Amino acid sequence: MKNFLTMAAALVLTGTAATAQGKAWTLQECIGYALEHNINLQQQDLQVTQRELELSTAKGSRLPQVSASTSENFSFGRGLTADNTYSNTNTTSTGLNIGASVPVFQGMRISNSIKQDELNLKAATADLEKAKDQISVNVAQAYVNILYDMEILDVALNQVRIDSLQHERLSVMAQNGKASQAQVAQQKAALGQSRLSATQARNNLNLAVLDLSQLLELPSPEGFSIVRPDGLIDGILLGNPEDIFAQAVAVKPSISAEQFRLDATEYTIKNAKAAFLPSISASGGIGTNYYTMSSARSNSFFEQMKNNFSQFLGLSLSVPIFTGFQTRNQVKAAQLNRTYQALQLENARKSLYKEIQQAYYNAVAAQEKYRSSIDARESAKESYDLVMAKYENGKANITEFNEARDNFLESESNLVRSRYEYLFSAKLLDFYSGKELEL
């Protein structure tokens, strides 16, 4: 079996190499490329940048607010003069001011907002890592699908080779009068069916390659191929689901993201309660002005600007007394959000445990199926070899030969399928434990 699989693999790899425009990709290269070029991940990365800006804004609220202003006013018509009489006069005034205000005490809202935004940034970063994990799993699944379809194509091509040899043998025997034309026709039909199976297998492989190339955001699957690793099953051990879950809870971003959000709700509650407290702010500034009146002589611009120069300092206190229950309701809403987020965290933990359990039992089932498939394949191969020997010696008809061949092909297909199901499920369990996906 190894010999004809090797020959068929050589045929496939030779055909692939003829069209490839570059080297074959490993699983790690596929995952790395997908993480760099996937559009969904790029969008998720923008969310992280947005959270970074929000944190920067929160930190900046500690700093003074400084502003400058200038004004120019014109007045026409009757107005009150310096001697307390009215006369028609025109006046102009120019003002220049620079002021600053700084929060002194805001009920710890600024500090709480900074801590809340820091946790929100960590949650967004964890969401990005979660999305990367999902892309990695999807790429690995698509990669394994290609490996499976390559194996199936190997089997189909090998059967085409065997049926071709049988057809040639019967054709020679028919020329020598040792076989009937009916037997040749039947073998030709069997060869046609084998070629159809090979065509279907090749189409399935092309579609699997297309799926992976689209996951990688490649413009076209043309010239794309993957590395076929050796020794995929040897040494694979399945861990206990409870132990894997304990490791996964500590490392999986899907859990840490919800935990960060839950921690952030504590500061949301503190900020809501801070509205009950008074707030204090300080302010200060400098200013000057220039004034003219058409009915009186005015000092020069620079002289007035110098003489009218003034400074001010201020301290303001705001004490909330009654806000129509808005603050009370905001506190209750924040507490409800904390309860909701706690449920979100618990749901994420349960979902992760269900995923691990499912992966574990899939791996156990695939392991048993793989072991059974090995025995079934060996039995089918033995039966196929015996029937083929009888068929070549004229002691078995084409129907018996085809039945043995089909049973053997089915056992080969089942073995390949169970092997890759077992491989992917086992590697997925390792991935939940915090290891990298690799074959």
For 132-149, write each residue's pLDDT tens digit: 999 999 999 999 999 999
Cα(152)–Cα(154) distance, integer angstroms: 5
Strands 279-293 and 91-105 come out as antiparallel
Contact residues for 345 (Cβ-Cβ < 8 A; gap 6+): 255, 258, 259, 261, 262
Q: What is this structure's pTM? A: 0.80
| Percent share of the chain, pLDDT over 90 | 53
Instruction: Indicate the average pLDDT of the chain.
Output: 87
Residue type, 28: Q
Cα(41)–Cα(128) distance, integer angstroms: 7
For 217-257, write each residue's pLDDT tens digit: 999 899 899 998 875 566 677 778 899 999 999 999 999 99
Residue 192: its pLDDT value, please? Answer: 92
Identify whether 205 is part of a domain.
Answer: yes
Identify whether 437 is part of a domain.
Answer: no
Backbone angles phi and psi of 287, in degrees to 5: -165, 165
Q: Are 407 and 388 in contact (CB under 8 A)?
A: no
Identify whether 59 is part of a domain.
Answer: yes
For 176-195, write each residue's pLDDT tens digit: 887 788 878 888 888 898 89
Q: Which residues of 259-281 are buried (b: 16+ CB within 10 A; e: fewer)?
A: bbbbbbbbbbbbbbbbbebebeb
Segments forming the whole domain that contains residue 56: 2-432
For 355-392, write each residue's pLDDT tens digit: 999 999 988 888 889 889 999 999 999 998 898 888 77
The arithmetic mean of pLDDT across residues 58-75, rounded, is 91
Residue 294: its pLDDT value, please? Answer: 73
3-state secondary structure labels for all residues of 137-165:
HHHHHHHHHHHHHHHHHHHHHHHHHHHHH
Identify whether 439 is part of a domain.
Answer: no
Residue 232: its pLDDT value, please? Answer: 59
Residue 169: its pLDDT value, please? Answer: 82
Identify whether 192 is part of a domain.
Answer: yes
Residue 378: its pLDDT value, please? Answer: 92
Contact residues for 312 (Cβ-Cβ < 8 A; gap 6+): 283, 284, 285, 286, 287
Identify whether 145 is part of a domain.
Answer: yes
Residue type, 236: I
Residue 235: its pLDDT value, please? Answer: 61
The tally of domains found in the chain comes to 1
Backbone angles phi and psi of 253, in degrees to 5: -65, -25
For residue 341, the domain's CATH number is 1.20.1600.10
Identify whether 58 is part of a domain.
Answer: yes
Q: Are 126 and 108 in contact (CB under 8 A)?
A: no
Identify whether 149 is part of a domain.
Answer: yes
Judged against a pLDDT cut of 90, whether residue 300 lies above it is answered with no
Residue 7: its pLDDT value, please? Answer: 36
Contact residues for 204 (Cβ-Cβ < 8 A; gap 6+): 149, 152, 153
Cα(397)–Cα(391) distance, integer angstroms: 6
More confident site: 12 or 119: 119
Contact residues for 148 (Cβ-Cβ < 8 A; gap 6+): 208, 416, 417, 420
Cα(71)–Cα(291) distance, integer angstroms: 12
